[in-house]
Amino acid sequence: MFSDYLTESERQLVEKARVFGEEHFTEENVSRWYKEGGIPGDVAEAYRCSDLGYLGFSPERGGPDVSYTAQIAILAELTKSAGAIMPFQSQLLDFQVISRFANEEQMNMILKRYEETSRPCFCTAISDAGSGSDALGYRTTVRKKDGKLVLSGEKVFVANGQHTPYIMVSAKDLTEESDFISAMPSFWLIPSSCEGVSALPINKIGQKIIPFAALRFDNVELKPEWRLGTPYQALSQFQSILDIGRCIICAGSVGLAQAAFDDAVHHANARKIRDRRIGDFQQIGLMLTEMNSMLINMKAHINHACRSIEQGSGAKLAVALMKKYVPATAGEVANRAMQIFGGAGYTDSSRVGRIWIDCRGSQYAVGTDQIMVNIASRAILDKYAEQ
Amino acid sequence: MFSDYLTESERQLVEKARVFGEEHFTEENVSRWYKEGGIPGDVAEAYRCSDLGYLGFSPERGGPDVSYTAQIAILAELTKSAGAIMPFQSQLLDFQVISRFANEEQMNMILKRYEETSRPCFCTAISDAGSGSDALGYRTTVRKKDGKLVLSGEKVFVANGQHTPYIMVSAKDLTEESDFISAMPSFWLIPSSCEGVSALPINKIGQKIIPFAALRFDNVELKPEWRLGTPYQALSQFQSILDIGRCIICAGSVGLAQAAFDDAVHHANARKIRDRRIGDFQQIGLMLTEMNSMLINMKAHINHACRSIEQGSGAKLAVALMKKYVPATAGEVANRAMQIFGGAGYTDSSRVGRIWIDCRGSQYAVGTDQIMVNIASRAILDKYAEQ
Amino acid sequence: MFSDYLTESERQLVEKARVFGEEHFTEENVSRWYKEGGIPGDVAEAYRCSDLGYLGFSPERGGPDVSYTAQIAILAELTKSAGAIMPFQSQLLDFQVISRFANEEQMNMILKRYEETSRPCFCTAISDAGSGSDALGYRTTVRKKDGKLVLSGEKVFVANGQHTPYIMVSAKDLTEESDFISAMPSFWLIPSSCEGVSALPINKIGQKIIPFAALRFDNVELKPEWRLGTPYQALSQFQSILDIGRCIICAGSVGLAQAAFDDAVHHANARKIRDRRIGDFQQIGLMLTEMNSMLINMKAHINHACRSIEQGSGAKLAVALMKKYVPATAGEVANRAMQIFGGAGYTDSSRVGRIWIDCRGSQYAVGTDQIMVNIASRAILDKYAEQ
Amino acid sequence: MFSDYLTESERQLVEKARVFGEEHFTEENVSRWYKEGGIPGDVAEAYRCSDLGYLGFSPERGGPDVSYTAQIAILAELTKSAGAIMPFQSQLLDFQVISRFANEEQMNMILKRYEETSRPCFCTAISDAGSGSDALGYRTTVRKKDGKLVLSGEKVFVANGQHTPYIMVSAKDLTEESDFISAMPSFWLIPSSCEGVSALPINKIGQKIIPFAALRFDNVELKPEWRLGTPYQALSQFQSILDIGRCIICAGSVGLAQAAFDDAVHHANARKIRDRRIGDFQQIGLMLTEMNSMLINMKAHINHACRSIEQGSGAKLAVALMKKYVPATAGEVANRAMQIFGGAGYTDSSRVGRIWIDCRGSQYAVGTDQIMVNIASRAILDKYAEQ
Ligand SMILES: Cc1cc2nc3c(=O)[nH]c(=O)nc-3n(C[C@H](O)[C@H](O)[C@H](O)COP(=O)(O)OP(=O)(O)OC[C@H]3O[C@@H](n4cnc5c(N)ncnc54)[C@H](O)[C@@H]3O)c2cc1C
Ligand SMILES: Cc1cc2nc3c(=O)[nH]c(=O)nc-3n(C[C@H](O)[C@H](O)[C@H](O)COP(=O)(O)OP(=O)(O)OC[C@H]3O[C@@H](n4cnc5c(N)ncnc54)[C@H](O)[C@@H]3O)c2cc1C
Ligand SMILES: Cc1cc2nc3c(=O)[nH]c(=O)nc-3n(C[C@H](O)[C@H](O)[C@H](O)COP(=O)(O)OP(=O)(O)OC[C@H]3O[C@@H](n4cnc5c(N)ncnc54)[C@H](O)[C@@H]3O)c2cc1C
Ligand SMILES: Cc1cc2nc3c(=O)[nH]c(=O)nc-3n(C[C@H](O)[C@H](O)[C@H](O)COP(=O)(O)OP(=O)(O)OC[C@H]3O[C@@H](n4cnc5c(N)ncnc54)[C@H](O)[C@@H]3O)c2cc1C
């Protein structure tokens, strides 16, 4: 889908993603994993052992030496193949995140764990129960109590939150009397087994291969060495993670949309009513045309954002525009695909219904549509004000 | 929601629907029924024994003496209360259908069964596997073989198709060598226990309180007295059933949309970010405004259609316009509600996600959006051509 | 278009509007008036002398004794007939406005002038150059200077602002040191010939039968008796004028949309491509269907608003929802009509292009779409908060 | 706007277009030319003498040696600068067209004329009065009558049709009894002064700098040497002209949209209400965000189409998708810009209203939105059917 912007070797990796998907992501498998809320160990291991397995890690850590665009292209390809949001999406995000924050020791632990289990050993708990959209208005805190670091608060919507041995958690740092520091988020990598940590599953309506949990932290005692990064870098690291994270979400969205489109065109060719393929009805033709245009648009937005990140300029605007446009538009594509399938689109006999539901979740993850508008519009105004 | 067009006694019935829903349709119940794929016997019985229980039957059969608009208003109220498509919807449709077709004997059986079980004893199997949209292009047939009537074919998407002791089925009547008759649909009420009848569940992505099945008829021997109505009336009866059926579907849609809107406004008032209720953000305000307008529009379309049916003029156009506009728009309302809830809208902790999925199914049932456009546009052109 | 909600005698008035339009509003006339920026004296007189001529005045003043809905219906009919925004629209608004404010003497003058010239003798200058949307943030003021009342400021977008002998102008009342009074708008009816009044035409892109002007007031000396109404009633009178004014604007919009729809259906029937009327292409059929639905929606919104005003409850919300929905939707209808006409829709050989442009202006007049969202969303939130 | 896809020297040409626009296209000039229906001779000459003057001609004829994308980029820049559809648009199309068809002699005449007058000496008359959309269903014909070639028919919507000394006209070739040949369009370059040629102005609602005419051909006697190209190439030449022509139209659209966006952002920064710039209202921010996304999408579509043409594969689909998406979307951008300007957007005091009207015309020129859907959907279906 993104081949114009890739090198030859990157293109080969994308092709490997396609082949990997073809082998493992049969609809029978995917719909079973959807019911079970996860992928089996052998698939996770096959992925780790493939050339894609360390995607998200830097080359020094074993990651492939590819551009962001290539990573996005690979994830989009995997998602297209599956027709569902796959754990490889959150995993890519997790590895990108942790690579920015963790020190040598932490990284070694994470890599070792990954080798052992073929799964990321941690989840990323950012959204506070009371203030998902207000990234800096959260109430989860780390304080000093009797000389000890104590974490309290409640996180929601944490992908894989119930299953990982570690939790990466963000908290307001109130350990020092510094307005500056308390305004920054602080990040910690803590064992889920700590006393005071509890997890409750949250039932999502879609994206069920990656289950959700709410996490409570009741006066959890932290060790200082669990801190990720330094207070002073946290904000800019966090910002760059949000940028990458938003691209990753959109990679999933475009993959889903492409799958829905492909399925819909095939159906429009195959399904005949009174010997006419339904694709020849103008109402269906109009939908196909709109869907194709939307795919062009989604890819353009993603490319634009990836390149802005790579070139280090204008990323804020480009990423927000992308994250506003792509997930909602993926839903529009899937919605049309469902209609083209007729009643079958509303059942398990096609995968477009599931795709439609999976698309929807990405209008919140890593920042809602509305927050994107706020970021983008401010960036637009500023860009022109400078002129 | 429709009080302007109702008599005082009709309004009281709607109020009873509200009270019935309040008592029985707690979110705990509804979400359990959703998982279980049906409502428990005591609720079915409570409904039958209420003043609403015989809705859809003529007054002589025990039905309340109310206008179509009132029936629609009652169903909309029940659906709003539940926040889910309820079996009372298909039941109302079934009773309307059967009242038009069945003879005295058949009716007595149906009523008796209803008294005993508090459920309709049959399902309505119209959509052929190969041609849902092409109502007259189906391949399910009744033929004469060795002097016997034999039914063969395959029906899909049959609401409650696996659970009812009888099946109302439509088939091409090839029993006589008459082009006229074979062009008409014929209707039959047959026991599910006949040899050659088999049913397979179809898993829907939503509207799960009413499960689906595919039904196969393999040379099923029919008795002549199972025929519903006469060949010559069948087409016009069928047409009037489609009209009513489309209103019933839309009643469900507007009920769902109203539920989503109500929930969203409450949330927009209650949820505070930095001490501001989120409803005060203009992006949320815009969504609320659009949702309120859509509700006004949906109701106007439904009223317009119901009155056209009651007045016996222009129903074809009014109904098709309604069925095109209402279900899709209900989805738009629900979609906005989901967004207003933030991530919670994508989970079980609110019901708006389920509402959104339930809305979607009504864009196919009793005729897709596209078929409605074809009907409506022809009617518009004809109306003006006559002038 | 609104016959359901009208009495028999009101319906007759609407019919008279139709007949009046048929006689006077030939396309030749209308397009000439469009170029000339006004209607000729004999048409103005014919209107005044018709049964519609005193519409907007109370029955005591000679106005017909009809509901708001009827007034709206009449104006919609006239506009439909013309396929252009007509001066009867601003005139109806002007008469409604002045009837709420003027005292006996002022009314007599206005009526006398109307009898003489068949035109309203004043224009309504509300929007300040700097703050159209911010109705109470204007900078036009009346102050006391050397014991005299002095008006200063600049008004824009004043319909007929260059041509009327009087101007109704709103201004901040700074004549007394009262915060309360200065927070209210004050209204004045002043002769255009006063020293210090100047008018500059503003060229609109549409609605050209009613030309615009900007008005400057340079220390214009006011006589106390030119004040309209009393300070204490001004705000509530102003509010009720806005409500009526918004209905009037929407009456124009729906009239334009109906005209565009009628023309488009006729064209879709008449225009043949390879012997097929273009209305049979599904893409055209889809547009016709959407247009018809939008008309139903627009009328529902207008009815809803008019009845809320008449019943004195919920008008704020109903009117804002209407004013947000109707003008923009009229544009959508006209836009589709233009497309159905093909290239001819972009020329003078049909009137749908002009209709499309005229529609656009109503998305600002008497409050923009955005201001309506702000009013409506607050009213929605409050309504539910009370529950 | 397209710099990513241009070479350095192409980028310099675009910059020259910008400078040329800055110098000549002041708003005062443009709005005067709009009223007058054309640009003055000195501007036409300045353009011809600039480095852009022979755009559309092949390098051998003096045209710059640049890609299609570059030509599009230059035209978009000029249009953005002017905020109006400029004659350079039809001129670029005309030169592209004629370069494909004309023989040496014809080309020399055209170039000579261009040098003399700085205007194209011909207009392009394709659309038949009866069948604009049905490119091969036209009724303009060339027949043999008494051994002479005779042209009869009526063309409409011909840009500059009244003013050029020559007319390029398409006609059904009935000179030979060959079904094959009569199915092809034939093209002719004829003097407007021929007997039997008459032209009538058609008043457009926009794009007024390029006036329209209808042309009648009443048994016009043709000379054989006026034929353009050979019968056998005509169809493929015609197709390639349509492809280029559609790109050119879209270049104009994106230029208009960019102008509207730029103006709107500046206004959103500058206009203050109660000391808040209006861009900070979320409703305005949402519009700005959507506009920016649409611009990204439009450019992506144009790039995609230009590259498909250049690479000679997939052009049919890419061009149709572009021509469906871009002009309508430009209108959406302009529509939002108008709203951001408030009432001023509906007047001459800003140029966004004119831009909005100019945008609209491009939804018909060189093929309507609907025809594009038909082409694109067929191409999509075919592409997948082959797989
Ligand atoms: C599929 C999915 C996966 C997720 N994965 C993770 C994860 O792994 N880890 C994690 O920490 N979180 C995760 N999240 C949570 C996600 O980040 C939040 O849902 C999101 O940030 C919104 O926060 P909220 O749900 O609290 O909504 P709220 O903040 O309560 O927002 C409610 C509504 O108000 C709107 N709103 C808020 N502020 C403004 C404003 N200033 N202007 C206009 N509108 C506004 C929002 O757009 C929304 O419509 C996930 C969510 C989903 C759906
Ligand atoms: C929730 C739900 C409940 C249902 N309940 C019942 C039930 O109880 N009993 C029953 O018999 N059936 C039921 N149905 C089936 C329903 O009636 C069919 O799904 C519907 O009629 C469409 O038929 P199809 O699914 O075969 O689609 P198809 O006919 O295969 O249509 C495929 C696509 O082609 C489009 N299309 C078809 N013809 C045209 C045309 N001429 N022009 C333009 N587009 C066209 C359709 O709109 C659709 O987008 C139900 C369906 C749903 C989703
Ligand atoms: C055809 C026509 C006829 C008219 N007739 C008359 C007349 O007869 N007499 C008269 O006095 N006036 C008249 N007007 C003027 C009209 O009332 C104003 O144009 C309108 O109120 C908007 O004011 P503005 O143009 O100053 O826009 P601004 O107030 O400058 O608004 C600019 C933009 O900001 C938006 N905006 C402003 N505030 C907010 C907010 N709080 N939240 C979100 N967005 C906001 C607006 O919606 C708009 O998009 C007429 C206008 C038109 C177009
Ligand atoms: C600004 C402008 C500039 C132009 N410049 C030129 C020029 O220089 N030279 C020239 O020759 N022409 C020119 N044209 C004409 C243009 O090419 C035609 O307007 C266009 O091709 C449509 O033809 P029509 O107007 O006859 O519409 P029609 O063909 O009458 O179409 C009417 C409606 O039917 C729809 N329709 C038609 N067929 C189908 C179908 N099969 N399926 C679905 N819908 C269908 C159309 O989309 C349209 O909505 C110009 C037009 C405009 C507006």
Which residues of D fall within a CB distance of 8 Å from A384? 262, 265-266, 269
Q: Which residue puts its alpha carbon closest to atom 32 of ligand 4?
A: C342
Last residue of a domain, one of B183, B209, B228: B228
3 state SS of C170: strand
Chains touching D (3+ CB pairs < 8 Å)? A, B, C
> What is the spatial distance between Cα B77 and Cα B81, in angstroms, rounded to a whole number?
6
What are the start-end ranges of the H helices in D125-230? 179-183
- Locus of tokens 């009244």: D162
Q: Can you read off the two tokens belonging to residue A159?
A: 């992908």
Residues C275 and C363 in one domain: yes
Percent of chain B past pLDDT 70, that is, above it, reads: 100
**Cα distance from B230 to chain C (closest Cα, Å)?**
34
Which residues of B fall within a CB distance of 8 Å from D288? none
Residues B187 and B287 in one domain: no
Residue D136, in any domain of the structure: yes
Residues A114 and A131 in one domain: no
SS3 content of chain A, % helix, strand, coil (to 5): 60, 15, 25
Which residues of B fall within a CB distance of 8 Å from D283? 282-283, 286
Number of the ligand closest to the Cα of A377: 1
A278, A283, A284, best to mutate vs chain C, most C CBs in 10 Å:
A283
**Binary contact (A283, C281; C-beta < 8 A):** no
Determine if residue C342 is left, alpha or beta; phi over 0 gives left, psi from -120 to 50 gives alpha, anything else beta: left
With a 6 Å cutoff on the Cβ, whether C377 touches ligand 3 is no
Domains in chain B, number: 3
**Cα distance from A99 to chain B (closest Cα, Å)?**
27
Residue B375 has pLDDT above 90, yes or no: yes
C8 contacts: CB under 8 Å, gap ≥ 6: none
Distance of CA D295 to the CA centre of its chain: 19
**Cα distance from D3 to chain A (closest Cα, Å)?**
13
Residue A160: predicted pLDDT: 93
Residue D4: predicted pLDDT: 81
Residue B136: predicted pLDDT: 75
Distance of CA A360 to the CA centre of its chain: 13
Angle at the Cα of D11 (from D8 to D17), degrees rounded to 5? 150
Residue A137 has pLDDT above 80, yes or no: no
Please report, as a single letter, which amino acid is at residue B210.
I
Under a CB-based contact definition with an 8 Å cutoff, are residues D279 and D265 in contact? yes
**Binary contact (B299, C300; C-beta < 8 A):** yes
Q: Report which ligand 4 atom has the smallest distance to the Cα of D368.
A: 47
pLDDT in tens, A246-260: 999 999 999 999 999
Chains touching A (3+ CB pairs < 8 Å)? B, C, D
User: For a pocket test of ligand 4, which of D96, D188, D364 has the largest count of ligand atoms closer than 8 A to its C-beta?
Assistant: D364
Please report, as a single letter, which amino acid is at residue D108.
N
Q: Which residue puts its alpha carbon closest to atom 3 of ligand 2?
A: B365
Residue B181: predicted pLDDT: 81
Residue B236 has pLDDT above 90, yes or no: no
Q: By CA distance, what is C382's nearest residue in B?
A: B269
Percent of chain A past pLDDT 90, that is, above it, reads: 88
For each of chain C's 387 residues, which pLDDT tens digit applies? 888 889 999 999 999 999 999 999 999 999 999 999 999 999 999 999 999 999 999 999 999 999 999 999 999 999 999 999 999 999 999 999 999 999 999 999 999 999 999 999 999 999 999 878 987 778 999 999 999 999 999 999 999 999 899 999 999 999 988 888 888 889 999 999 999 999 999 999 999 999 999 999 999 999 999 999 888 888 888 888 999 999 999 999 999 999 999 999 999 999 999 889 999 999 999 999 999 999 999 999 999 999 999 999 999 999 999 999 999 999 999 999 999 999 999 999 999 999 999 999 999 999 999 999 999 999 999 999 977
- List phi, psi (to 5°) of B151: -105, 130
C55 contacts: CB under 8 Å, gap ≥ 6: C63, C64, C71, C74, C75, C88, C92, C95
> What is the spatial distance between Cα B92 and Cα B95, in angstroms, rounded to a whole number?
5
Residue B185: predicted pLDDT: 87
Q: Which residue puts its alpha carbon closest to atom 11 of ligand 1?
A: A126
CATH of residue A14's domain is 1.10.540.10
With a 6 Å cutoff on the Cβ, whether A159 touches ligand 1 is yes
Residue D256: predicted pLDDT: 98
Residues D85 and D186 in one domain: no
CA of B87 to the centre of ligand 1 (A): 34
Helices (runs of H) and strands (runs of E) counted in chain B? 12, 10
Length of chain A: 387
| Residue range of the domain that includes D202 | 123-228
pLDDT in tens, A182-231: 888 899 999 999 999 999 999 999 999 999 999 999 999 999 999 998 88
> What is the spatial distance between Cα D113 and Cα C335, in angstroms, rounded to a whole number?
40
Residue B141: predicted pLDDT: 95
Chains touching B (3+ CB pairs < 8 Å)? A, C, D
CATH of residue D329's domain is 1.20.140.10
Last residue of a domain, one of A118, A135, A165: A118
Residue D302, in any domain of the structure: yes
**Cα distance from A263 to chain C (closest Cα, Å)?**
23
Q: Can you read off the two tokens belonging to residue D293?
A: 């996304």
Residues B208 and B81 in one domain: no
C273, C276, C281, C283, best to mutate vs chain A, most A CBs in 10 Å:
C283
> What is the spatial distance between Cα D109 and Cα A155, in angstroms, rounded to a whole number?
77
> What is the spatial distance between Cα B289 and Cα B283, in angstroms, rounded to a whole number?
10
Residues B295 and B186 in one domain: no
Single out the residue of C371, C365, C363 nearest to residue C316, CA to CA: C371
**Cα distance from C285 to chain A (closest Cα, Å)?**
9
Q: By CA distance, what is C282's nearest residue in A?
A: A282
Residue A92 has pLDDT above 90, yes or no: yes
Q: Which residue puts its alpha carbon closest to atom 37 of ligand 3?
A: C133
Q: Which residues of C touch D (CB under 8 A)?
A: 127, 131-134, 137, 156-157, 202-206, 212, 273-274, 281, 283-284, 338-339, 342-349, 353-354, 356-357, 360-361, 363-365, 368-370, 373
With a 6 Å cutoff on the Cβ, whether C132 touches ligand 3 is yes
Residues C77 and C139 in one domain: no
Q: Do strands D276-277 and D212-222 pair parallel, antiparallel, or not at all (unpaired)?
A: unpaired
Averaged pLDDT score across all residues of chain A? 95
With a 6 Å cutoff on the Cβ, whether D125 touches ligand 4 is yes
Closest CB to B321: pick one of C262, C284, C296. C296
**Binary contact (C204, D338; C-beta < 8 A):** no
Under a CB-based contact definition with an 8 Å cutoff, are residues C202 and C214 in contact? yes
Beta bridge partners of A122: A166
With a 6 Å cutoff on the Cβ, whether A277 touches ligand 2 is no
Residues D134 and D71 in one domain: no
CA of C151 to the centre of ligand 2 (A): 68
Last residue of a domain, one of D228, D263, D284: D228
Length of chain C: 387
Which residues of A fall within a CB distance of 8 Å from B363? 339
CA of B353 to the centre of ligand 2 (A): 24
Closest CB to D137: pick one of C273, C342, C357. C273
What is the helix (H) or strand (E) element at residue A187, kind and residue range?
Answer: strand A185-191
Band of pLDDT at residue A80, cut at 50, 70 and 90:
very high
Q: Report which ligand 4 atom has the smallest distance to the Cα of D128.
A: 26
Single out the residue of A176, A170, A178, A93 nearest to residue A137, CA to CA: A170
Percent of chain B past pLDDT 90, that is, above it, reads: 88
Report, as ranges of residue numbers, the positions in chain D whose pLDDT lies below 70.
none
Residues A18 and A162 in one domain: no
Residue A135: predicted pLDDT: 74
Residue A298: predicted pLDDT: 98
Band of pLDDT at residue A48, cut at 50, 70 and 90:
very high
Band of pLDDT at residue B145, cut at 50, 70 and 90:
very high
What is the helix (H) or strand (E) element at residue C188, kind and residue range?
Answer: strand C185-191
With a 6 Å cutoff on the Cβ, whether D7 touches ligand 4 is no
Residues D147 and D65 in one domain: no
Residue A182: predicted pLDDT: 82
Number of the ligand closest to the Cα of D132: 4
Q: What ipTM does this complex have?
A: 0.97
CATH of residue C181's domain is 2.40.110.10
Cβ-defined contacts of B195-204 (< 8 Å, 24+) = B195/B220, B195/B221, B196/B151, B196/B220, B196/B221, B197/B167, B199/B161, B199/B162, B200/B162, B201/B162, B202/A347, B202/A348, B202/A349, B202/B156, B202/B157, B203/A347, B203/A348, B204/A346, B204/A347, B204/A348, B204/B361
What are the start-end ranges of the H helices in chain D? 8-24, 27-36, 41-49, 68-82, 87-101, 104-117, 179-183, 231-270, 282-311, 315-340, 352-361, 369-386
Q: Do strands A141-145 and A166-173 pair parallel, antiparallel, or not at all (unpaired)?
A: parallel
Task: Out of A352-361, B65-74, C325-334, D176-185, pick the least confident.
Answer: D176-185
Q: Report which ligand 3 atom has the smallest distance to the Cα of D340.
A: 49
Residues A95 and A137 in one domain: no
CA of D218 to the centre of ligand 4 (A): 23
Under a CB-based contact definition with an 8 Å cutoff, are residues C131 and C191 in contact? no
> What is the spatial distance between Cα B236 and Cα B184, in angstroms, rounded to a whole number?
10
Residues D168 and D296 in one domain: no
Which residues of A fall within a CB distance of 8 Å from B132? 342-343
Residue B177 has pLDDT above 90, yes or no: no
Q: Which residue puts its alpha carbon closest to atom 51 of ligand 1?
A: A365
